[in-house]
Amino acid sequence: MSKFSLKINGKLHHVEAESDTPLVWILRENLNLRGTKFGCGINECGACTVKMGDEAVRSCNITVANSVGEDITTVEGLHHEQKDHPLQIAWLENKVPQCGYCQPGMLMTADALLTRNPHPTEEEIVGEMSDVLCRCGTYPRVRNALLQVVKNGGGK
């Protein structure tokens, strides 16, 4: 076991873990940030997506050791970034979630997209969001919600 300091949602957290522990388990088990979901564990589904800097990163596919020094945002951090975050408002207004399991990954993928590009085209939105697996087929509502955010001025 080694000690690691991770910056998550604007705060420094200190954890003890094996260096190869995937970040998703540090978030969920050590820090009780259970918004981030575990799906496939093999970098395919996107349920575990968090934001690292401006990028959407799959937390099952990055170790705690490799997360040190990064600015990590989980779905719980959206609210801290901005009260009534535009994505949360649009997700509610468009009734996006069905079972909800993929939605933290969807939201963090959307947040990273808007951070990099506040005014993506519909094509860019569809392309980016199709990387996250939604077995309930919420893609049309995800697209509509993101188009609404873009129309209202982007994510920030």
Please report, as ranges, the residues that interact with ligand FES according to CB under 6 A: 38-41, 43-48, 58, 60, 97-103, 134-136, 138
Please report how close the Cβ of residue 156 comes to ligand FES at its closest, in angstroms.
Answer: 25
Beta-carbon contacts of 62 under 8 Å, excluding residues fewer than 6 positions away, are: 22, 23, 52
Residue 15 or residue 132: which is nearer to ligand FES going by CB?
132
Residue 30 or residue 98: which is nearer to ligand FES going by CB?
98
Shortest CA distance to 149 belongs to which of 103, 101, 115?
A: 115
Residue 46 or residue 86: which is nearer to ligand FES going by CB?
46
Local structure of residue 66 (DSSP, 8 states):
G
Residue 118 or residue 140: which is nearer to ligand FES going by CB?
140
Please report how close the Cβ of residue 3 comes to ligand FES at its closest, in angstroms.
Answer: 25
Residue 22 contacts residue 60 (beta carbons within 8 Å): yes
Please report how close the Cβ of residue 45 comes to ligand FES at its closest, in angstroms.
Answer: 3
Helix %, strand %, coil % of the chain (to 5): 40, 15, 45
Please report how close the Cβ of residue 111 comes to ligand FES at its closest, in angstroms.
Answer: 17
> For tokens 């009534």, what's the residue?
84
